[in-house]
C-alpha cells in the first residue's frame, strides 16, 4: 500500500500523517538517525573536518621548522597534576646530555624544569582561515617557545614536530578527497546520467568503458601517470594533478549508481505521470528524478571518499603523489617506510591512527546512508 | 553459450588494446623522446653516441613519424615479445623482469585463494548465525581490513614481527635461496614465505566478499525451498550447504573480476614495504629513474595478465553457473 493511500484512510495518527507528508530527504534523515554507529561515525567525520579547518590553530610549532639536534625525540608524557596535587598540566623540558660512549647528544626529560601548558598561547604566526594573521594556538607553554619543549607526538628525523605536521597533513589529505570526489561526481553524474537516460548504443559504449577501466589494476596505472608529472611543478600544481589522476578512475562506481537509479526511475509511475502532464525533460530530471535519488548519491559519495583518501595516501607513501614540502598523511608515512625507521622511531606509525579512524568512519557513515537512502524499503 | 564466450573474449581484446594504448602513453609521457634519455644515460657513464647513431636509433623506433605510426611499430614489436631495452639496466626488459612477473602472479593468486578461503566459511557462518556475537566480530574485523590500507597493514605487521619475535618478515626467499636456481628446496622456501604477504593482501578484499556472501546467503535462506527441505527432515548442515550455499556462491565467483585488479594493485605496494622480489619495487624504481620501457612494459604486462585472469574467471563462472550458460542474465 502506498503512502498516499494510507494518508487517505480516515484513521491515521499524527505520526503517520507526518511520515506521509515528509519529503524524501526527511525520511532518509529519520531513518539514518536510528543507525547508531553511522551517526557516531558522522560526528567523527565532522570532527576531523573541523580539525582540518583549524589545523594551524591546533598545531603547536611551525610544521617546517627543523632542528637536526632534536631528531627522533619520543612522544612526551603530559603530567596532569602539580606536586601539591593541584590541576596544572605540564611537561618536563628536555635537557641535552652528551653520551660519553657514542658522543651523541641525547635528550632526557628534566623533572626540575617544568613547563606549564597554556591555552590560546602565542606561537608561530599563520593566517587564520585565510582571513587574518595571528599567532594564537590552542596549546602552548607558559615560558620558552614550544619548538624547544613541546613534542606531543615526538619528532621525526629532521626534528620536526609530528603532532603539528599531522594536523596540517589532515587538512591536505581530507581536502584532496573532497575535491577528487567532486570531480568524480561530476564525471559520474554526467556519464552515468547520459547512459541511463538515453540507453541504447551510448549506454552500451559507456558501460563497456566502465568495465574496461575497472579491469585495469589501478595502482600501476596511477604510478605511471603520477611519475610523469614534471618534477619542477609547484606543490599546488602537483596537488591538482594528483586529484585529477585519482578521480579519472574513481568516477566509474558513481556512474554505475547514477545509471542504475536512472534506469529504475525511468519506469516509475510518477515519471510517466509527469511526462503525460507535459513536463519538459529537464523538469522531470531535476524536479522529480534527482530528489528521489539524491540520498543514493550522498551515500555513494561517502563510500567513494575513503577510497580517494587511501589512493592519495598510497601514492604519496610511494613517493609518487604529493612531494615534500607538501604535507599529507602519505608524505608523513613515507618517513616510516622501512623497518629501520620504525625500529628507531615507532611513534612515526601513530600517523596511521587517524588514517584508519577516518576511513572506518566514512565506511560506517556510507553504509548507514545507503541503508537510509531507501526509506520505503 | 558461444555468444557469451565470444562477447567476453571481444571485451578482453578491447581491454588489452586500451591497456596497450595507456602503456604507450606512459612510455611517451616524460619530456623528450627516449633516444634523448638513452644518450643522456650513456654520456653519464662516459660513452658517447655519434649523431648518425642517434639518427639510426630514431629511425628504428620511428620517432620521426606521427604518433600512431610509432604506436603501431611499438605494438607490433611487443606482440613479438620484444619489449625494448631497459635504460637503467642496459639489458632487454624481459631479462630484467626475469622471475619477478611470475612471483607477482604467485603472490596475487595466493592472495585470492586465501581471500576465498577466509571469506567463504565466515560468510556462511555470519549468515546462518545472523546478529550473533561472532557475526558482529567478523563484521568489525572485516571493516578494519577494509579501512587499513595494504601498505599500512604490512608496516604494522612488520613492526610487530620485529618487536615481538625479532623477526625480519620481508622477502619471499631465505638468504640461501635468493640467488639460487630453481629447485625443490627453493620452491618449498617460497611456499613458506608466501602466506604472510598473501594474508596482508587478502585481508583487504575479504570484508567485501564476506558481506556479499552473507547477504546472498541470507536471501537464499529465506526462500520457501529451504523451509521445505527442513520440513522434510534434512539435517541442518545439509539443508544449508547443499542448496542455498551453492546458489549464493555464483555471484561470489563473479567478484573475481574486480578482486583480481584489486589484488594486483595491492601487491605492488605490499611488495615495496616487505621488499618482495616481484615487479612492484622494480616498477617504482623504473618510474623514478624514468626508465620508461621497463615501466611501460610492467604496466602493460600486469594489465594483460589481469585481463586474462578475469577472462578465465568468466569461463569458470560460465561452467559453474547454468544460468549464464543458458544465456539468462540474472
Per-residue pLDDT tens for A256-301?
888 888 888 888 888 889 989 988 888 888 888 887 777 778 888 8
Q: CB distance from B1 to chain A under 8 Å?
A: no
- Which CATH superfamily, name and number, covers B98-329? MetI-like (1.10.3720.10)
Binary contact (B261, A214; C-beta < 8 A):
yes
| A140: β partners | A118
A328 phi and psi angles, rounded to 5 deg: -140, 175
Binary contact (A355, B295; C-beta < 8 A):
no
pLDDT band at B44 (very low <50, low <70, confident <90, very high): low
Compare CB distances from B149 to A215, A310, A342 and report the shortest one's residue.
Answer: A310
Q: Is the pTM of this model over 0.90?
A: no
Binary contact (A356, B290; C-beta < 8 A):
no
Q: Among the listed ranges A191-195, A235-239, A303-307, B254-258, which one has the minimum average pLDDT value?
A: B254-258
Q: CB distance from B201 to chain A under 8 Å?
A: no
Give the pairing of strands A105-128 and A79-81: unpaired
Contact B225, B207 (CB under 8 A): no
Mean pLDDT of A64-74: 76
Residues of chain B with CATH 1.10.3720.10: 98-329
pLDDT band at B330 (very low <50, low <70, confident <90, very high): very low
Contact A340, A72 (CB under 8 A): no
Nearest to B19 by CA among B305, B263, B265: B305
Is the domain covering A41-53+165-372 a CATH 1.10.3720.10 domain? Answer: yes
Binary contact (B29, A336; C-beta < 8 A):
no
Compare CB distances from A342 to B151, B155, B296 and report the shortest one's residue.
Answer: B155
Mean pLDDT of B168-176: 71
The three three-digit cell numbers of residue A258, written as one number: 547514477
pLDDT band at A42 (very low <50, low <70, confident <90, very high): very high
pLDDT at A377 over 60: no
Percent of chain A that is helix, strand, coil (3-state, to 5): 60, 15, 25
A2 phi and psi angles, rounded to 5 deg: -75, 165
Listed by start position, the domains of chain A span 41-53+165-372, 67-160
Nearest to A369 by CA among A45, A76, A93: A45
Length of chain A: 377
Mean pLDDT of B227-236: 88
Give chain A positions within 8 Å (CB) of B219.
none
CA atoms A177, A183, A189, A191: torsion sign: negative
pLDDT at B149 over 60: yes
Binary contact (B162, A310; C-beta < 8 A):
no
Amino acid at each position: 500500500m502506498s503512502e498516499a493511500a494510507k494518508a487517505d484512510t480516515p484513521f491515521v495518527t499524527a505520526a503517520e500523517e507526518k511520515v506521509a507528508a515528509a519529503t524524501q530527504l526527511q525520511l532518509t534523515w529519520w531513518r539514518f538517525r536510528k543507525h547508531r554507529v553511522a551517526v557516531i561515525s558522522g560526528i567523527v567525520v565532522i570532527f576531523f573536518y573541523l580539525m582540518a579547518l583549524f589545523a594551524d590553530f591546533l598545531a603547536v610549532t611551525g610544521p617546517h621548522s627543523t632542528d637536526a639536534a632534536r631528531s627522533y625525540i619520543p612522544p612526551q608524557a603530559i603530567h596532569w597534576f602539580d606536586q601539591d596535587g593541584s590541576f596544572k598540566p605540564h611537561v618536563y623540558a628536555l635537557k641535552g646530555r652528551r653520551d660519553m660512549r657514542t658522543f651523541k647528544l641525547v635528550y632526557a626529560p628534566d623533572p626540575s624544569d617544568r613547563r606549564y601548558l597554556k591555552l590560546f598561547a602565542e606561537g608561530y604566526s599563520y593566517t587564520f582561515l585565510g582571513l587574518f594573521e595571528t599567532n594564537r594556538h590552542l596549546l602552548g607553554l607558559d615560558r620558552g617557545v614550544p619548538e624547544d619543549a613541546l613534542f606531543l607526538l615526538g619528532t621525526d628525523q629532521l626534528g620536526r614536530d609530528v603532532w603539528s605536521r599531522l594536523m596540517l597533513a589532515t587538512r591536505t589529505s581530507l581536502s584532496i578527497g573532497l575535491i577528487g570526489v567532486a570531480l568524480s561526481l561530476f564525471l559520474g553524474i554526467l556519464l552515468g546520467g547520459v547512459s541511463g537516460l538515453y540507453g541504447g548504443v551510448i549506454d552500451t559504449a559507456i558501460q563497456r568503458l566502465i568495465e574496461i577501466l575497472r579491469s585495469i589494476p589501478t595502482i600501476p596505472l596511477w604510478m605511471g601517470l603520477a611519475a610523469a608529472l614534471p618534477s619542477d611543478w609547484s606543490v599546488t600544481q602537483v596537488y591538482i594533478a594528483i586529484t585529477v589522476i585519482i578521480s579519472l578512475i574513481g568516477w566509474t562506481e558513481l556512474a554505475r549508481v547514477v545509471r542504475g537509479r536512472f534506469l529504475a526511475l525511468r519506469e516509475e509511475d510518477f515519471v510517466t505521470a509527469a511526462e503525460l502532464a507535459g513536463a519538459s525533460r529537464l523538469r522531470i530530471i531535476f524536479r522529480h528524478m534527482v530528489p528521489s535519488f539524491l540520498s543514493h548519491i550522498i551515500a555513494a559519495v561517502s563510500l567513494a571518499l575513503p577510497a580517494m583518501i587511501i589512493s592519495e595516501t598510497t601514492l604519496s607513501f610511494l613517493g609518487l603523489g604529493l612531494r615534500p614540502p607538501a604535507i599529507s598523511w602519505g608524505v608523513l608515512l613515507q618517513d616510516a617506510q622501512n623497518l629501520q625507521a620504525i625500529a628507531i622511531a615507532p611513534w612515526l606509525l601513530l600517523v596511521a591512527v587517524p588514517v584508519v579512524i577516518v576511513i572506518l568512519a566514512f565506511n560506517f557513515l556510507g553504509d548507514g546512508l545507503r541503508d537510509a537512502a531507501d526509506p520505503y524499503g | 553459450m558461444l555468444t557469451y564466450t565470444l562477447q567476453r573474449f571481444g571485451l578482453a581484446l578491447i581491454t588489452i588494446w586500451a591497456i596497450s594504448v595507456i602503456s604507450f602513453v606512459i612510455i611517451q609521457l616524460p619530456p623528450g623522446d627516449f633516444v634523448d634519455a638513452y644518450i643522456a644515460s650513456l654520456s653519464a657513464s662516459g660513452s658517447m653516441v655519434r649523431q648518425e647513431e642517434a639518427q639510426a636509433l630514431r629511425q628504428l623506433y620511428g620517432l620521426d613519424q606521427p604518433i600512431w605510426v610509432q604506436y603501431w611499430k611499438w605494438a607490433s614489436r611487443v606482440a613479438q615479445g620484444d619489449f625494448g631495452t631497459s635504460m637503467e639496466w642496459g639489458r632487454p626488459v624481459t631479462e630484467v623482469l626475469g622471475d619477478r612477473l611470475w612471483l607477482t602472479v604467485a603472490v596475487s593468486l595466493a592472495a585470492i585463494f586465501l581471500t576465498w578461503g577466509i571469506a567463504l566459511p565466515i560468510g556462511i557462518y555470519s549468515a546462518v548465525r545472523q546478529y550473533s556475537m561472532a557475526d558482529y566480530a567478523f563484521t568489525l574485523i572485516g571493516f578494519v581490513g577494509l579501512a587499513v590500507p595494504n601498505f599500512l597493514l604490512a608496516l604494522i605487521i612488520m613492526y610487530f614481527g620485529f618487536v615481538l619475535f625479532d623477526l625480519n618478515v620481508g622477502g619471499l626467499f631465505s638468504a640461501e635461496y635468493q640467488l639460487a636456481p630453481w629447485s625443490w628446496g627453493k620452491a618449498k622456501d617460497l611456499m613458506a614465505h608466501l602466506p604472510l604477504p598473501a594474508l596482508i593482501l587478502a585481508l583487504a578484499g575479504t570484508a567485501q566478499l564476506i558481506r556479499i556472501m552473507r547477504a546472498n546467503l541470507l536471501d537464499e535462506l529465506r526462500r520457501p525451498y529451504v523451509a521445505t527441505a527442513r520440513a522434510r527432515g534434512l539435517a541442518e548442515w545439509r539443508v544449508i550447504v547443499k542448496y542455498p550455499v551453492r546458489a549464493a556462491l555464483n555471484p561470489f565467483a563473479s567478484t573475481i573480476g574486480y578482486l583480481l585488479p584489486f589484488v594486483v594493485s595491492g601487491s605492488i605496494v605490499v611488495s615495496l614495504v616487505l621488499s618482495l622480489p616481484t615487479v612492484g619495487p622494480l616498477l617504482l624504481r623504473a618510474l623514478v629513474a624514468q626508465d620508461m620501457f621497463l615501466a611501460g612494459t610492467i604496466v602493460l604486462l600486469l594489465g594483460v595478465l589481469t585481463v586474462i585472469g578475469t577472462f578465465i574467471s568468466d569461463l569458470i563462472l560460465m561452467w559453474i553457473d547454468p544460468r549464464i550458460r543458458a544465456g539468462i542474465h540474472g
